[in-house]
Structure 1
């Protein structure tokens, strides 16, 4: 979306209601304003000159709840700030907050009631403006695509790209950071790679709008990547995950499926980007093959998968003689799943029986069959270590390649 289109939309709205307007982004930066000014105050004049809302004015505006509002919010005059009364219109597109439209009261206007009535008449124009702002952040925007390519190159170890990313205003000095990998769990095998990359870019972009602890997003053919501030909390991560699921489903034309997020460990030096990227990918791969890890998993919580994920190591389950023998015997898939769950549940037969909806006697019978077949106790010593590792290596072998 061209800036000129946004400018013209603001001018048209101002003409409809014959009032001074200004349009802000979510960070308080000036995007557009109406030249038609039946009235003005010191705050508006300074804003148009500096293009940034000063901290004291921002604090006054935020104190009236504009950051969470979904309807127009009257903000009363403040003589100390040189500020007339005004109405803040939160602009939302498809559920995403994309900016604020400010409507100034006239000098002799004591209440915002007239403005609120006028705004109801121009709802279609404001909705169209919100869509423009959403499209303004589109992943098809040339500069955006250039930044994404540079960011992904830095994640893959390009030193020059890493230096460039470190110099970005939205990134420089904002550490410690984390990387997150987002993976859709639906069936995308038949999707064109280029379309898949665009889908992930768009889904990640729209899923993170308005979440300040997400510093940047990018998409690849197989997954999306986020640069996060380490202060991001579980609530925001869950929100990102759910939005990502929705966007992938809506834009990809497929049934919604739970998305997965893998998190790297925190880092304070952006030269660690490649290592963090590897951790985030490994974490989300582990979550994909082992559902007990959950939909949001950090690298340190992946357990033995940390060792299996090392690039130079390729542990094959067939390297275990005990595992190979047991798999050959387990034609009906009754033994290996029970054994793995027993290991994961620390040997609790009661928990495994409840989870699998089996009687405890059935669990003991299957353990007896395993013991007889292998000639060793699968719950003791070296046999347990070997079999548990082989079971996890077997899962890891089925991971999506990212």
Structure 2
């Protein structure tokens, strides 16, 4: 069972050769996945294929439910081979799994369908030899990929940084090397993951996987730069993207990261403003960082903030996290919130201000008789000491409520 290992060629062909050779030697189906359980290469069937294998081959990627199940078993943290239990409800036969590791890096997972007769000692030895050969090939590819990624990270960092000379140089290099076009519609997205307690490097791997689909779409070219727990995606669109386009993209990133990392970590995506030239990507990036902070502080955004939709929240979010505390709340609003009827009156005040002080619209939305609404408004004025007919007084209360929204969900750590 060893001669076919020595005949393997370099690159992707070598991995395919190793997988095919092992499968033929075992008479079992074999697949090589990346650390996110996405298929790299696979052997032919040997009559042991299950629904999961067939569906993955047809789609080119496993269903999210399968990925979540495999990762929930801790396979990505294994340091030695083990058996992944089957799941009849998922159509999954047991797999003998070997984590492909080299110098502390998880490079992939080699899986052998383990239905039917148990693997013999000779077969597990053959799998182990194949896994070592796969590790050599994948580590060489990893080193080359790391060099490329470091180069891209440096260019993107320069493009969106504060040094104008570095921005100009990075812009020229990105365009000259064909990594990104100069325009016409540029958007920068920032992604932050907080609260992950898994193995070191797992978040970065998940970020790469989540952003990979956006390197090239039907309407855009993208370039992601990934750090340990955050990433920046610079995209140049052929046409101006709509708010709905970018929201769907942000939601897709959140879903992917939730699949890859599980429900524990907090994921926030911030979409910057739309610019018309790659040279102005730094402006969109600064706005994306503000939008990330909004996504982390406003639960109603469900993890995705868009600069173009932040409105007055963007004003407060220019402040550092250390300054965003209750000391900024106007005293009149604080008195209202502390009142025994505070929750009911806060709701009434919000609705009244959101409807530009219209009593008919406010009464309709709150399903209140106007007499009852007027009574509540008088209570608000008595408690706050402010006149709701005064535009400046209404502004104080409205901005105070916006600030109160931001204070309801304090992130674990400030987004840089």
Mark the CA change 1:249 to 1:312 in structure 2 (over 3 Å): closer, same or farther: closer
1:262 touches 1:298 (CA, 8 Å); kept in 2?
A: yes
Please say if residues 264 and 299 of structure 1, whose CA atoms lie closer than 8 Å, have aligned partners that are also in contact.
yes
Match of 2:157 in 1: 152
Contact 1:200/1:219 (8 A) holds in 2: no
Counterpart check, 1:310 vs 2:278: no
Unmatched tracts of structure 2, length 5 or more: 1-7, 22-54, 65-109, 111-133
Q: Secondary structure at the match of 2:263?
A: coil
Structure 1, 386-395 or 292-301: larger mean CA deviation: 292-301
Corresponding residue for residue 195 of structure 2: 189
- Contact between 1:201 and 1:217, CA under 8 Å: does it hold in 2? no
Say if 1:177 and 1:284 are closer, same or farther in 2 by CA, change over 3 A.
Answer: same
Instruction: Give 1:247's aligned residue.
Output: 256
- Greater displacement, 209-218 / 350-359: 350-359
Shift of 1:378: 3.1
**1:93 paired to 2:61:** yes
Match of 1:387?
397
User: CA separation in 1, counterparts of 2:242 and 2:272?
Assistant: 12
* Matches for 1:3-402 after TM superposition, within 5 Å: 4-8=10-14, 92-94=60-62, 141-150=145-154, 151-152=156-157, 154-158=159-163, 162=167, 163-168=169-174, 169-182=178-191, 188-189=194-195, 191=197, 195=201, 197-198=203-204, 201-208=207-214, 210-211=216-217, 213-220=220-227, 223-230=230-237, 231=239, 232-233=241-242, 236-254=245-263, 260-270=269-279, 272-290=280-298, 298-310=306-318, 318=328, 320-329=330-339, 333-347=343-357, 363-378=373-388, 380-397=390-407, 400=411, 401-402=414-415
Task: Look up the match of 1:63.
Answer: none
Deviation for aligned residue 1:384 = 0.3
Report the more deviating stretch, 243-252 or 206-215: 206-215
Q: Give 1:142 deviation, angstroms.
A: 0.5
CA contact (8 A) 2:363 2:370 kept: yes
What is the CA–CA distance in structure 1 between the aligned matches of 2:359 and 2:58, rounded to whole Å? 55
Report the TM-score, using the length of structure 1 for normalisation.
0.56
- Between the aligned partners of 2:157 and 2:366, the Cα distance in structure 1 is 42
CA contact (8 A) 1:242 1:259 kept: no
The alignment covers a number of residue pairs equal to 299
**Using a 3 Å threshold, how does the CA distance of structure 1 residues 142 and 333 change in structure 2: closer, same or farther?**
same
| Shift in CA distance, 283/189, structure 1 to aligned 2, threshold 3 Å | same
Distance 1:396 1:172, change over 3 A: same
Q: What is the DSSP-based 3-state SS (H/G/I as helix, E as strand, rest coil) of the residue aligned with 2:211?
A: helix
Closer, same or farther: CA 172–189 of 1 in aligned 2, 3 Å:
same
CA distance in 2 between counterparts of 1:376 and 1:302 reads: 27
Contact 2:206 2:260 in 1 (8 A): no
Give distance in 1, aligned partners of 2:309 and 2:386. Answer: 30
1:183 and 1:284 in contact (8 A); partners too: yes
Q: State the match for 1:85 in structure 2.
A: none
Q: Is the 8 A contact 1:205 1:218 kept in 2?
A: no
SS at match of 1:334: helix
